[in-house]
Every structure is written in C-alpha cells, then in structure tokens.
A and B are shown apart, each in its own frame.
Chain A
C-alpha cells in the first residue's frame, strides 16, 4: 500500500507530463483517497521544502527505509535494492552534476544477492556510469579506422568489380611550362585508382629530370621512356607526333608482354574515377564518350556580332564517342563539329586561338593488351598486327586503324551516354620560361617579360622579379624597396597605381633596349 503510494507520487511527474491520465490512473489504483496517501502527500511537501533549503534533492525514500516494512516479496526484491541505491545516489547528487570530474561508479553489489529465479536487472534509478577520462583514446581510434578500412575493402570486393585487371596508362608528354600543371592533375587521378596500374610515360626530347622527379612522387609503377624528337611548334605536327609516341608505348607493351587494359591518358585531359571502373568491363576494344572542351580563343578579338550569332545557332554538343541505336549496338560515331571554330583555330602551340581535336581522339579508346601482343591465344582475327601498321608509315589517327573491322568496338558508359573524361589542350606560349623544377633558387638573373606572360598580373612586390641586370640594379632595388614599404602601408588604390607605373617604367626601359 505504502509502497504503491510512494511509487505513485514518485511517478506522478512522469505520468503527468507523459500522458494526461491523472484521474484515470488513480481510479484504477484506488489509493488516492486513503489517509495513508494524504500522509505521504504531506511528507512529500515537507521533503520538497527541505530540498529547497538544502539545495539538493532530499528523498523521502529515507523515511521509507526508516520505517521499512516488507509487503510482498517480489516488490521488495525489485524495489528494495534500488532504494538503497537511491539513497546512495541522493548523497552523491552533488558530484553527479559534473559527471566528467568524478568517477561515479554506483554500488553494484546490492542487487546481486537475489534468489535464483528473479532478474539481475533492477527497476528504478540507476547511476550514470562515466569513466574517469571520457575522451577518445588514440589507439582505439586507430583500431576503429583499420576496421572501417577492412569493411570498405570487403565492400569493394563484393559490390565493386570482381577480378580487376591491371590498367596500362599511356601518356605522351614533354617539358614545357604547363607540363607540371597537367601532369600533377593526371598523377593525382591515377594515384586514386583502386586497381593495379602501370604508367608508361613517353617523353619527347628524351627523358628529363623534370619529368622523372614528378613521376618519382607517385609511388606508382612507371615506365619512363624517351622519344628522340623535339615537339614541333604546329599543332597538326604535334598531334601526329603524339600518335607516334603512343605507338612507341604500345611497342613496349608488346615487348614486355604486359597484361591488362590499355588506356590513353593525355596529360592535359581530366578523368573521372568512374571511368576507371567502367573500362574494366571491356573485352577487346571499347570506346567511351569524350567531352571536348574548347575554349573560345582570345575574347578580345571576337566581335560582339559573331558572339550573338553563335548564341542563336545551336551550339554543337561537345562530345566525341560511339553512337548506338535503340538496341544498344554500335552504329556510328559522334564527332566534334569543328566548323564554327575553323577560322579561329590555332595553328601553333601557344597562340591564343581555339585548339581543335582530331576527328576521334585516342583518349576515347581502350584496348585489351592482348590485341597488341605478337602471339596471344584468343586474339581475334579482325585486328591487324602492330608491326604491319607502323612499318607502312601511314598516319595512325586513332586506334580504329588497328582494326580491320570497326564494328567490333564495344561502346562503354551506357552506350556512350555517360561522359567520363574530358579532352582539353591548354598551353602557354612556346617561348615562355618557367623556373626549372618550379623552384626559384638561385634568384633569376634575367627576366624577359613577354608581352603577356603566364602570370599577367604579377604584383610588383616580389623583389626577385624587379631585378634588372646592370647599372640599374641598385637603383631599382632601392626604389623597389621604398615602393614596397610605401605600397604596403598605403591603400589598395595606391598600390594599383604604383604597379601600373612600374610596368610602364619597365616596358619603357625595354623599349629603349
């Protein structure tokens, strides 16, 4: 009786806010109107007042313990133990307020000496267990990360590609200003590929330390070979030379009998990770759609009229790749419509006109390396031998020339609908200079600013750029220094004006020379 009343009062808070059932609850239990209940209510009020005075929750359970009586065995077992705990908790309430500061392990022994049939689990208020240092443990974090890695690897094995084949990536390159930019991008893409990779880099002009140092940073298996010709200045010739460099790489595949999937990654192209997953499904020769990014040349030179004309016409879809019919079979090829750009097309490397792609770029094709080998068990008959081709000296525009019958090409990427790589050609002027290895050490002796250098808006604050040889050096230095100090303190507009004056001075001086 008493127990239930106490519990009811304890729980009234909860039931009143939890569900609006006050009167119903009490009619069911039927203890509301008894004098015992009134007495406990009074006691509850007194305890509340005492709690207000003392500042912590003073539990009236203490009184119950003092006048402890045993009603039913089961209720005693279930409630006596937590009552003991509760009193202990009450006196520790102050320490509980800031859990991290104190180890608050509550007393675990009280409920354990029960009879066999009853539960270990006790109803009622329990302590909140907090360990002495509730912060992450570094070894645990590392172990968890290793577990996550293992789980992800397993996921990759189960849902990703089964039996992935090695990728053989063929890249023609040569040392020039933008080489580091392009090659770093390609490098990082290849380092992310989750499959085995062999990277064949063919360098025009022979192998150089520049390229070698870049390749050394990757950690990938690279084959760096030199090609003994210099890159010509005209785009047309350069494209042909690149084809010859790629054939040279294919020869390496043939000689070393490298097994895998050959893909052609030009250093200035951009590849998405899905491309590498998609080409794993190629059987012999596959084609993917390549997005063609042509930047529309020098914006100063196009007149406003022609711009509007372009907008009105249908701009060509800039994609090269396989074309399929509705049942998914290859019926032809999409090529890039170069007509709008023909007048403004670039002829030599570094002029600021539009660089146009070939009809079908090498980058859009992937081959099974067995097609290149001299002898392979299941090599199909519709492929020509590599030696026969290159010996003729004919121009190899695209891997399609390797095939006797072009209808065997497999269209990848949901039949060419998904574009997973982009073709881009961006180069600096052929005569542009850049610090070797991109390290400015020792300071440059001569600066010959081109009319438009790769960095057109270089601020004059950089002291090394201001140095000019000869007598003017010291004057320049002092002038530069003062200019620097003034410009640093000055406002932005002042700095701009000064930069322009410096440029005018410099260009003026060179005009004299």
Chain B
C-alpha cells in the first residue's frame, strides 16, 4: 500500500519536473507553440471529426472552365480548384449524403480571366445561382436547410459579393442565396457586408514550390529593416491617389521614400523572395481589397508582417493569434510608422520571429499538392469541424422558405 503511494508521488513529481524542463527547453528553442482563441488547434486532425459530401456537378461548372483557361491553377484565387481536388480524395469525403455533416459544391466562379489574368466576376452570380438551382432540384439536402450545412469556396476580391469595386460589392451584398451557407473566402473585414458571421477566412493561394525554391540559409543575417515591393499609386485607375488603398500606400511612399530604413519601391526584382528573408519587417498594406498574398509570403519567409488595413480579419483568425505574430498599424498612424516599429521592444520582436519560425504556422498558410497534415486544407476542415454539431434550428419545417430566390439585381436572374 505504502509503496504504491510512494510510486504515485514519485510519478507526480517527475511529471512536474519534466514539464518544467520541457518548458525551459522550449524557451531556448527557436520556435514557439501557437494557440489562438480556439486553443491549440493548428495541428488538429479533421479526419473522423466531420464528413463532407461532394456534389457531382456537370463539368461545365468546373472541369470545362479550367480547361478553357489553365491559368486558374496558378493565380492567387486557385484555392477553389485545389480545395475541390483535395476533397475528392480526402478521407473526410463520404459518398453517402445521409451521414454527411457538410456539403460542398464545386463551382469555379473565379475562373473567367481577362487577357491580363484578372478574374471577371460578372458571370459569377449567375453561375452560382445556376449551380444552386441544380443541387436544390436534384438533391433534397439544399431545401432541407436552405444551405445552412453547405459550404462554398469564394476566393474573389470581396468574396460572395462578386465584384472588384468595393462600393459595387457593398451595394450588391452577399448573393442572397448564399446568406445561410458557410462561405470560405479570402476577404475578411469586420462589420462589412461581404463578411458573414461564421465565414472562414483563408489565405490566398501562393505557389509552395516556387517559394521553397527561393529559400536561403537561415543564418544569413537580416539586414533590411522594412521591406515592401508593390504599387503605391495605381496610375491607371486612380492617378491622384487617395482612392487606391484608401491612401495608405501613397502615405507610406510620401513619408518614407527617402528613409534608409525602408527598402520600398515599385520595381519587381528577381530576388524578391530572397530579399524578404533578409528583412525584419514586411509591409502588408491593403490594396483595392484588404487582403494580399504578401501575408503568406511574409509568414513563409519569417518576415514579421506589418498589416496596414483597418478592421481586417486575417486567415484562420480563431486558430492563429495574429496580434502576437504580426504588427497592426492603423491607417491613420502610417506617418508614424517608423516610430511605431522602432519602439517595439527587441524581446517582442524575437518572440514574433520565434512564432513565425514554427513550422505548423508556415504549413497552415500553404496549399501544397498533394495535401500535407496541418496545411490550409486541413485548417479549413478544422474550422468546419469546430462549427459542428449543427444546431437543430437550421433544419426547416416542410414548406418553410427563408431565402428569396428573386432578390438581387435583375441581371443576376438570367440563366447561365
């Protein structure tokens, strides 16, 4: 009896000691664990926690569109295509819709590209509407809940508002048919019409192999203080400035163009990725939309992102504590950017770098082919799993209709 008690006590003590030793070891390491508001969830495995049914749509909604323009696989909106491919072969996929928790509709709405490579969203509402009509008439699951257990990937500039101009997007609002569905989108801004409660924000697609190919040895000393490459004035569309990026990028230029700490320019160097790995801070200001692939690049290359976009909602905001990782600067504080950045204590900067060095952080921002554990696909599934189980109120009583199928601009109602 006594012996067993002693053994138990010894176990307890050793457990404590090991815990402390492990914590101290972690301090000396060069990464740190990441846990957001939802807890330490970056490394969760979604398999077994949810089941997704993928609707079989005719290929005119997905494959034929991709065949017409294969550039859709490499631009920053490619997440919708890769998500479809991932789900088709993922263990969370189920072929039995009765046991599915979530339903996915593979429609590539962002694949109508101009010669320059920019997507035109004008046919997207009609395409989406047509797809929803199809699934509501061929399967009973849409009408059961009017889409509350369905999710759609809408990676365009302003998500399901389907427009690239912000005023137009706000005016249109989210497509009425998608009001109850969960939207997986890159756009995120608090108190904005185009972001529904319960939407999942994802990072824009950035090609993983291209970024891995430009890695430099980590002991290369970081000698650039602030780095940015991109437009400050969109001369073609807003030559005076003040409209593009709400004047924030222009303010950065006007205030810091001759400051030696700021390596900022519009030139596009071949060593862009290598330079980011030699910088301490990387600016991620808003453009026409608040999100940008610079955030992903900064995270991959260990450069602390300085986010200049008021009220932005960053990817996987409940899993990743962005305030501890990046630096948030209000747009009105841009003239004091240098003071703000130099007044951050060095320990805080080192901690941010340690958090960025965490491999699960970098994995969560990427869409690798084939999928790897902890990557963005899995984070999306984790987000969906965290919303389970569905509340019973989403199931409509027979005959009840909540969505207005005739709402929206007249042009949207035309057939696609």
Contacts and interface: CB of A to CB of B under 8 A. Distances in A.
Interface residues of B, number: 64
Contact of A136 (B122, B217, B259): B259
Given A27-B411, A136-B258, A151 B242 contact: no
B105 interface: no
Contacts of B37: none
Contact of A128 (B219, B254, B342): B254
Contacts of B246: 121, 126
Given A18-B237, A21-B120, A117-B191, A151 B222 contact: yes
Best-surrounded residue of B167, B247, B332, B346 (most CB of chain A within 10 A): B167
A7 B167 contact: yes
A381 interface: no
Residue among A121, A127, A136, A148 facing the most chain B CB atoms (10 A cut-off): A121
Contacts of A146: 346
A130 B254 contact: yes
Contacts of A19: 114, 118, 120, 164
A131 B335 contact: yes
Given A75-B171, A143-B342, A144-B261, A129 B334 contact: yes
B350 interface: yes
A128 B192 contact: no
Contacts of B219: 155-156, 159-160
A contact patch SS = helix
Given A120-B311, A152-B223, A128 B261 contact: no
B169 to A, nearest CB: 9
A69 interface: no
Interface in A103-130: 108, 117-121, 123-130
Contact of A108 (B168, B217, B332): B332
B409 A119 contact: no
A155 B222 contact: yes
Most chain B CB inside 10 Å of its own CB: which residue of A19, A27, A93: A19
Nearest to B191: A119
B350 A123 contact: no
Contact of A121 (B254, B261, B311): B311
Nearest to B116: A19
A147 B122 contact: no
A24 B126 CA distance: 13
Interface in B321-344: 331-332, 334-336, 338-339, 341-344
B326 to A, nearest CB: 16
Contact of B338 (A140, A154, A156): A140
A217 interface: no
A439 B313 CA distance: 68
A129 B332 contact: yes
Contacts of B259: 135-136
A135 B338 CA distance: 10
Nearest to A29: B409
Interface stretch (A9-17, A243-251, A306-314, A387-395): A9-17
Given A108-B332, A134-B335, A119 B165 contact: no
Nearest to A25: B122
A30 B411 contact: yes
A256 to B, nearest CB: 32
Nearest to A142: B342
Contact of A78 (B167, B218, B342): B167
A99 B255 CA distance: 9
Contact of B242 (A24, A126, A135, A159): A126
B135 interface: no
B353 interface: yes
A119 B120 CA distance: 27
Contacts of A156: 219, 221
B236 interface: yes
A125 B261 CA distance: 29
B288 to A, nearest CB: 9
A119 B190 contact: yes
23 contacts: A7-B168, A19-B118, A19-B164, A28-B412, A30-B410, A74-B170, A119-B191, A121-B189, A121-B191, A121-B310, A125-B247, A128-B251, A130-B255, A131-B335, A134-B255, A136-B261, A144-B261, A147-B280, A147-B346, A148-B225, A148-B280, A151-B349, A152-B223
Given A75-B171, A128-B251, A144-B225, 18 more contacts: A14-B165, A18-B164, A19-B120, A27-B411, A28-B122, A28-B409, A120-B191, A127-B242, A130-B255, A137-B339, A140-B261, A140-B342, A144-B338, A146-B346, A148-B223, A150-B346, A150-B350, A159-B217
Please provide the 4 A-B residue pairs with the shortest distance between their CB atoms, ordered closest to farther: A159-B219, A131-B335, A119-B191, A14-B237
